[in-house]
Amino acid sequence: MVGIVIVSHSLKLAEGVVDFVREMAKECPIAIAAGRVDGSYGTSLELIESAIDSVMSDEGVIVLVDMGSSILTTEMAIETRGTDKIKLADAPLVEGAMAASIDSQMGMSMNDILIDLEQIWTERKHDY
């Protein structure tokens, strides 16, 4: 299965997203990288790298982020890994996490999950 990583500035926010996702995708490998190492709000390269490593598989890892610096820090984490098996999804955090986790549990490939997430985000933009 494709692993999923939730990157957030807030541990409580990330835990809430994962709790919600687990209602539909209990078997999907999912990890949290939230806050800084000292427990404060923010993002941490070290925590993101650790979360990616914890759910890495031959099928790859998709990372979803909340906002701002989580994007830049995640991009750095992906670059340090030097593999094309880790992708940052351009999708809303909650909807993206739910869809990606269900798709992964169904056995979809990383590329097919990313296409699904792109469609979700494209459709969602029209709702605004």
Q: Quick one: how far is CA 31 from the chain centroid?
A: 8
Could you give the residue numbers annotated as active site?
A: 9
Dihedral in degrees, nearest 10, Cα atoms 68, 69, 73, 79: 50
By CB neighbour count within 10 A (0-12 exposed, 13-18 middle, 19+ buried), where does 53 fall? middle
